[in-house]
C-alpha cells in the first residue's frame, strides 16, 4: 500500500506529492508549523489526507508545546491553511473535543491522548475508504471505462482512496474495467498522482487532457464518472477540484452516471447549499507556469479557483461508508449521518 502519511518517533512523515511522479521523496515534519506549510503547499493534499495531517499536526504541536495554553494557537496555524476541504475543520474539532475532555489533566497525558487520537483518525480513514469502496463497487458498470478527475486515491487519503477506492473494490470484485484520468489543470493531480497511483497497482489507466472529457463521454466508452469531494452541502451540492462541474454537466448531457465518493466527514450539513462553500483561490504561478517555466506573458491577470461546486442535480449518487445516498439529498444525507 502507498503510505501517504504516518506518525513516527521523529515526526509526521509524508510522501511529497509536489515531487511525484518524478521523485518518490518523503518529508518529515518536526513541528506543527511544518505540517501547516505541507498542507498549504500541497506536499499533502486531498480532503481526507488533509484531515489526518491536521490531526497529526496538532498532536505534534502539543508534543513540542510547554503549556496547554498553546493548544488554540496550534489549532489556528493548522486552520488557516486551506479553506475548502471541510475534513480539515472536522479533524481540528475532533482533536479539540479530546483536548476539552482532558481539561485539568497534566501535559504528558494530554500529549499522549492527542497522539493516539491522530493515529486513530488515520487508521479509521483507511477502514472508511474500504467501506466506501465496497458500497460503491456494485454501481460500476462491468466492461466499461471509469472517468475520474483529480486524485481521490490513496494519496488523497490515509490509504486506499475514495473514488479510486471504489475502482479498486470494483476490480477486486472481478469487474473488468479501466480508468480514464483527466490531467486536472493546473496542478496536474490526475496526470502526476492518479496515473502514478494506478500504475503502482497495475490498474489499466489512460491519461486525457481535461478538454477531452466531453469527447470521451460522448463516445459511449465511459460507463460512469467517479470523483471525490472536498465539501458536500446539506442539499447535496458538491465542492471538488476545479473542472469537476464541467465533467458533471457533460456526464448528464450524455446520460453517464456521475458518482461522488466521500466519507461522512466530508458532509457539511451546516451549509444549506453551494453558495456558502468557501472556495480557495491559489497562486497565479500555478496557471502561468508549468514546472517552473512560464507559459504566459509576464504580468498576465490570472484567476485560479482551486475548486468548483457541482449542483446536486448533476449528482447521480453520493457513496459513503454508511451507504449510498440519492436525491433528495436534504432528506437522505441526514439519514446517513443518523
* Residues at the interface with ligand MRU (CB under 6 A): 45-48, 85, 150, 152, 156-157, 162, 189, 227-230, 240-241, 306
- CB of residue 108 to ligand MRU, shortest distance in Å: 34
Of 4 and 288, CB closest to ligand MRU: 4
- CB of residue 293 to ligand MRU, shortest distance in Å: 21
- CB of residue 275 to ligand MRU, shortest distance in Å: 19
Cβ–Cβ under 8 Å, residues 207 and 198: no
Of 152 and 171, CB closest to ligand MRU: 152
In sequence order, what are the residues at sequence separation of 6 or more whose Cβ sits closer than 8 angstroms to the Cβ of residue 255? none
3-state helix, strand, coil in the chain (%, to 5): 45, 20, 35
- CB of residue 116 to ligand MRU, shortest distance in Å: 24
DSSP β-ladder status, 293-294 and 289-290: antiparallel
The beta strands (E) that lie in 52-190 are given as 145-148, 178-182
CA distance 47 to 320: 14
Nearest Cα to 228, choosing from 266, 184, 276, 274? 266
Of 240 and 312, CB closest to ligand MRU: 240
- CB of residue 282 to ligand MRU, shortest distance in Å: 8
Mapped to the 3 state alphabet, what secondary structure does 31-74 carry? CHHHHHHHHHCCCCCCHHHHHHHHHHHHHHHHHHCCCHHHHHHH
Q: Which of 125, 210, 230, 308 is catalytic?
A: 230
In sequence order, what are the residues at sequence separation of 6 or more whose Cβ sits closer than 8 angstroms to the Cβ of residue 299? none
Cβ–Cβ under 8 Å, residues 192 and 219: no
Counted residue by residue, the chain has a size of: 338
The answer to whether 230 is a known catalytic residue is: yes
Residue nearest to ligand MRU (CB): 228
Helical pair 47-64 and 32-40, crossing angle rounded to 10 deg:
160
Of 113 and 241, CB closest to ligand MRU: 241
Of 99 and 259, CB closest to ligand MRU: 259
Which residues are catalytically annotated?
A: 230
Amino acid at each position: 500500500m502507498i503510505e501517504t502519511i504516518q506518525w513516527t518517533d521523529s515526526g509526521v512523515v509524508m510522501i511529497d506529492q509536489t515531487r511525484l511522479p518524478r521523485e518518490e521523496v518523503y518529508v518529515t515534519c518536526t513541528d506543527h508549523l511544518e505540517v501547516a506549510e505541507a498542507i498549504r503547499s500541497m506536499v499533502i493534499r486531498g480532503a481526507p489526507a488533509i484531515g489526518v495531517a491536521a490531526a497529526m499536526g496538532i498532536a505534534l504541536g502539543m508534543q513540542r508545546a510547554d503549556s496547554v495554553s498553546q493548544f488554540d494557537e496550534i489549532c489556528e496555524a493548522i486552520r488557516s491553511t486551506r479553506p475548502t476541504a471541510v475534513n480539515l475543520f472536522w479533524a481540528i474539532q475532533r482533536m479539540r473535543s479530546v483536548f476539552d475532555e482532558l481539561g485539568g489533566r497534566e501535559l504528558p497525558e494530554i500529549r499522549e491522548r492527542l497522539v493516539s487520537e491522530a493515529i486513530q483518525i488515520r487508521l479509521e480513514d483507511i477502514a472508511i475508504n474500504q467501506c466506501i469502496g465496497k458500497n460503491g463497487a456494485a454501481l460500476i458498470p462491468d466492461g466499461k471505462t471509469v472517468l475520474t478527475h483529480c486524485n481521490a486515491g490513496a494519496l488523497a487519503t490515509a490509504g486506499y482512496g475514495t473514488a479510486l477506492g471504489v475502482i479498486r473494490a470494483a476490480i477486486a470484485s472481478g469487474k473488468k474495467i479501466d480508468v480514464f484520468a483527466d490531467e486536472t489543470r493546473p496542478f496536474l493531480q490526475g496526470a502526476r498522482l492518479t496515473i502514478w497511483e494506478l500504475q503502482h497497482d497495475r490498474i489499466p489507466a489512460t491519461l486525457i487532457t481535461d478538454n477531452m472529457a466531453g469527447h470521451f463521454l460522448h463516445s459511449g466508452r465511459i460507463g460512469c464518472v467517479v470523483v471525490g469531494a472536498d465539501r458536500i452541502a446539506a442539499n447535496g451540492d458538491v465542492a471538488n477540484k476545479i473542472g469537476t462541474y464541467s465533467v458533471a454537466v457533460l456526464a448528464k448531457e450524455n446520460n453517464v452516471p456521475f458518482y461522488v465518493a466521500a466519507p461522512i466527514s466530508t458532509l457539511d450539513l451546516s451549509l444549506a447549499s453551494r453558495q456558502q462553500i468557501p472556495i480557495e483561490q491559489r497562486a497565479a504561478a500555478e496557471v502561468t507556469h508549468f514546472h517552473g517555466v512560464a507559459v504566459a506573458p509576464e504580468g498576465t491577470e490570472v484567476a485560479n479557483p482551486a475548486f468548483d461546486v457541482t449542483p446536486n442535480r448533476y449528482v447521480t449518487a453520493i457513496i459513503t461508508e454508511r451507504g449510498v445516498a440519492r436525491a433528495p439529498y436534504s432528506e437522505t444525507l441526514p439519514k446517513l449521518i443518523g
